[in-house]
Amino acid sequence: MLIQGGLVLDPATGRQGQLDIRVKEGKITEFGPNLAVSPGETTVPAHGCIVAPGLVDIHVHFRDPGLTHKEDLISGSHAAAAGGFTTVVCMANTNPVPDLPERVHEFYNRAAREAVINLYTVGSVTYNLEGKQLTDFAALKKAGVVGFSDDGNPVDNPALVRHALEQAGALGLPVINHCGELALVADTIVNEGPAAKSLGLKGMPTTAEDIHVARDVHLAELTGQHVHIQHVSSATAVSIIREAKARGVKVTAEAGPHHFTLTDAALLEYGPNAKMNPPLRTPADVAAVRQGLADGTLDAIATDHAPHTVEEKAQGLLEAPCGIVGLETALGLVWTELVKPGILTPMQAIAKLTYIPANIVGLNKGTLAPGTAADITVFDPTSVWEVQPEKFFSKGRNTPFTGRRLTGKVICTIVGGRTVFQNGNIVSPVH
């Protein structure tokens, strides 16, 4: 395969330039201007496009097993491929929970058969996400988990978080935490503020998130181990992480596209499709998340792709489940909201979507280094398109971005040298 005429941007190696890329036997083998096409070689035209490492999302919910009316490994992997993602890490709030090695083995066996991209999973921190007893981290690592998370059910007991950090750290894996003190949720997961008030809701203050972020940062400091903070949404949380990094704490953090794009005012317009956990916050919080991404406090961008059915989301703000789909709008939102306004350079944006998140979970992904698996995303950074949920490959239609015009469109997604998405279609049948 020869990818021709694109602007190669590979933050992990620093390589950038108008270069062709040759792929042989699933691996990247050669870069150069105007490489000659070998006999029988397929070509991928990339003129006017950016050729980036395949995107990496370390925070998705594929709902499989157990909740496959919302999403499954096939539909989720198709949504990822359509969004330019070649590697994702699935969270543990499935049924059953991946808290035993045999469940993790089953996940990887099925992923190999059903998914068109690279799927990984975390193991849960506690059995059945109950926050009571730590799982067998060593056994789960052996089965292939890339970290430990009870995302969605924050671990309440700080002693358990401490022991989790010690045990995961000894294995070289991160503890990946959803930060939110649920005791501070008054009625439902919306930001405590004027938008909630006008809807007759009390909501939860950013303090609920800040308390857990501070706790986890201090526990990481105490243990000397790596904590990864998910979906940072609060200005104070950004400051806490910034200060912790400055004194050498092993903390990494991610932000989601919705948290650097929308405020809680979106609740008034989009209702339950703007409800997620942590919730959309104030303009000052959005500005702080953007600043955190720009100055490196927030290392990575992760979608928290969380599909729900139309019926589930139609229950009204109080009852509707939290979460929005994110894989198919992420790159367009990053380009439109962060790169075009100059908040991130193209290289910085791609770094936060590729090798940096991969490194957080210890994966050698998200690079175009010669000899590595040819996971490649070709996208047109000038193409403008409109978000139309009915066209999503995800089963979920729950997005607050319906009708939004985004700049930056995925043209082609290549996984291990195989084209899996091209010009709007999934190419490879399920294998």
The residues annotated as belonging to the active site are 304
22 touches Zn ion by CB under 5 A: no
Report d(CA 331, CA 243) in Å as an integer.
29
Shortest Å distance, C-beta 148 to Zn ion = 14
Please identify, using beta-carbon distances, which residue of 151 and 210 lies nearer to Zn ion: 151
103 touches Zn ion by CB under 5 A: no
| Count of residues engaged in binding Zn ion, rule: CB under 5 A | 3
Shortest Å distance, C-beta 372 to Zn ion = 28
Contact 175, 164 (CB under 8 A): yes
Shortest Å distance, C-beta 277 to Zn ion = 6
Shortest Å distance, C-beta 151 to Zn ion = 4
Two tokens, residue 401: 């971005």
Q: Which stretch binds Zn ion (CB under 5 A): 13-21, 78-86, 172-180, 360-368?
A: 172-180
Q: Which stretch binds Zn ion (CB under 5 A): 49-57, 175-183, 219-227, 324-332?
A: 175-183
* Sequential DSSP letters for 370-423: TTSB--EEEEEEEEEEE--GGG-SSS----TTTT-EEEEEEEEEEETTEEEEET
Scanning residues 266 to 305, which ones bind Zn ion (CB under 5 A)?
A: 304
Please identify, using beta-carbon distances, which residue of 71 and 151 lies nearer to Zn ion: 151
151 touches Zn ion by CB under 5 A: yes
Helix 206-223 with 235-246: angle, nearest 10 deg: 10
259 touches Zn ion by CB under 5 A: no
178 touches Zn ion by CB under 5 A: yes
241: part of which helix (H) or strand (E)? helix 235-246
Please identify, using beta-carbon distances, which residue of 94 and 225 lies nearer to Zn ion: 94
Grouping H, G, I as helix, E, B as strand and the rest as coil, residue 248 is: coil
Report d(CA 146, CA 98) in Å as an integer.
12
* Sequential DSSP letters for 186-203: SSSSSBSSHHHHHTT---
Shortest Å distance, C-beta 230 to Zn ion = 5
Q: Compute how many other C-beta atoms are within 10 angstroms of the C-beta atom of residue 186.
A: 13
Please identify, using beta-carbon distances, which residue of 78 and 178 lies nearer to Zn ion: 178
Site string for Zn ion, 313-342 (x = CB under 5 A): ------------------------------
Dihedral sign for Cα 346, 405, 329, 212, please.
Answer: positive
Please identify, using beta-carbon distances, which residue of 308 and 409 lies nearer to Zn ion: 308
Residue nearest to Zn ion (CB): 178
Please identify, using beta-carbon distances, which residue of 212 and 250 lies nearer to Zn ion: 212
* DSSP state letter for 119: E
153: part of which helix (H) or strand (E)? none
Which residues make up the interface to Zn ion (CB under 5 A)? 151, 178, 304
